[in-house]
Amino acid sequence: FFSWEVLRFLLSNLRMWIEDYRFDGFRFDGVTSMLYHHHGIGTGFSGDYNEYFGLHVDEDALCYLMLANHMIKFLYPESITIAEDVSGMPALCRPVAEGGGGFDYRLAMAIPDKWIQIIKELKDEDWNMGNIVHTLTNRRYKEKYIAYAESHDQALVGDKTLAFRLMDAEMYTNMSVLSPLTPVIDRGIQLHKMIRLITHALGGESYLNFMGNEFGHPEWLDFPRKGNNESYHYARRQFNLTEDHLLRYRFLNAFDRDMNNLEERFGWLASPPAYVSEKHESNKVIAFERAGLIFIFNFHPYQSYVDYRVVIWHTSLIVIFKYKILLDSDAAEYGGHQRLDHSTEYFSAEYPHNYRPNSLMV
């Protein structure tokens, strides 16, 4: 498959981009098609190990990827490599010294596909909490994933961003704070924040956002081409939208800023995977704990809850833990309805719930 001349060219090419152009690393596109002789075509990967080891694996291609990662890490230890692999090949994101593929991260490509599928095909009352949690947590232990709520395809011509799928044409008419908050805009803004936070907190060991998606940029990105008569009209992001205090885009931008600042403070992306204590189908509630924080999401389309009990992970019968609200998607500064009192303190109790000895009433 690879002659040594081709191999040397490809490896030197990687080195050139880092040394001459100061690249920080690489995202290897379409890795699945390289790893297997069948190129992943017509193959559904279930996770069975027979699917990843055998004569159908392209050993030359796998060897090149291992060499590429080894060389990059040896010469430039700070660089990052990312695999776009939908097959889930084991150890692809473990060091070459362990017999792995050497990548730092794998893109969690199922997550943005899942959100689009849910929004396109299901009514709010039909959302499946267990299916959402499974998609966000379906990764091998100690192999790092990059979670993202929407893909680059949704930011470019050919698809719609999450914000546009949720709010569609009303983004052009009802995003002003001077106009009434319509049910479509209200639902869209609240779900946009919740989808991003649960993806960020549960879906991986790093988080990816495409420029403008964090504040719900209403239009796609389209570069000049023959199909649009070489127009520059959509070859931009309207960052002024977030700076206009009469527009609701600023709420989404403020939430995204504070979400990322909170992660930087507590480091949940670098923490072990979350402990999911609840995925309640009728209540539409998902609760989990990660990095010492308790995350509670109510996806019910119309039901709010008072005195809702959730599990806390610790088993100490002596220490009482005190919790406070750190991030609330319902807060006024994020375009919410201010239904929670942020001065309230919540205390752990020796009260069994969901098969754990301690819980918390919120």
Spatial separation of the C-alpha atoms in residues 360 and 348, rounded to whole Å: 5
Spatial separation of the C-alpha atoms in residues 88 and 261, rounded to whole Å: 31
Q: Which residue out of 5, 59, 60, 84 is catalytically annotated?
A: 84
pLDDT in tens, the chain (362 residues): 568 889 999 999 999 999 999 999 999 999 999 999 999 898 888 888 999 999 999 999 999 999 999 999 999 999 999 999 999 999 999 999 999 999 999 999 999 999 999 999 999 999 999 999 999 999 999 999 999 999 887 766 667 899 999 999 999 999 999 999 999 999 999 999 999 999 999 999 999 999 899 999 988 788 899 988 999 988 888 999 999 999 999 999 999 999 999 999 999 999 999 999 999 999 999 999 999 999 999 999 999 999 999 998 876 667 788 999 999 999 999 999 999 999 999 999 888 898 888 899 99
- Kindly list the strands in the beta sheet with 206-207, ordered across the sheet, starting from the edge strand earlier in the chain: 25-28, 80-83, 105-107, 145-147, 206-207
Spatial separation of the C-alpha atoms in residues 191 and 119, rounded to whole Å: 10
CA distance from start to end of the chain:
60
DSSP code of 313? S
**Residue showing tokens 């998902």:** 286
Give the CA-trace dihedral at 296, 299, 303, 304, to 10 degrees.
20
- The residue range of the domain holding 54 is 4-107
Domain-embedded: residue 137: no
Provide the domain count of the chain.
2
Spatial separation of the C-alpha atoms in residues 104 and 141, rounded to whole Å: 14
Spatial separation of the C-alpha atoms in residues 172 and 120, rounded to whole Å: 20
Domain-embedded: residue 246: no
Domain-embedded: residue 340: yes
Decide if 84 is catalytic. Answer: yes
Domain-embedded: residue 301: yes
Structure tokens at 30: 């379409």
Domain-embedded: residue 164: no
Q: What is the CATH number of the domain that holds 299?
A: 2.60.40.1180
**Residue showing tokens 């990843």:** 52
Taking the whole predicted model, whether its pTM rises above 0.85 is answered as yes
Are the beta carbons of 333 and 254 closer than 8 angstroms?
Answer: yes
Domain-embedded: residue 93: yes
Give the end of a domain, one of 107, 124, 143. Answer: 107
Return the half-sphere exposure (C-beta side, CA atoms, 13 A cut-off) of residue 267. 3
Spatial separation of the C-alpha atoms in residues 199 and 192, rounded to whole Å: 11
Give the end of a domain, one of 50, 85, 107. Answer: 107
DSSP H or E segment with residue 107: strand 105-107
Structure tokens at 208: 């990816």
- String of DSSP letters for 178-220: TS---HHHHHHHHHHHHHHHHHHHHS-SEE---TTGGGT-SS-
Q: Which residue out of 29, 60, 243, 333 is catalytically annotated?
A: 29
Domain-embedded: residue 263: no
Spatial separation of the C-alpha atoms in residues 108 and 207, rounded to whole Å: 10
Domain-embedded: residue 207: no
Give the end of a domain, one of 107, 136, 158. Answer: 107
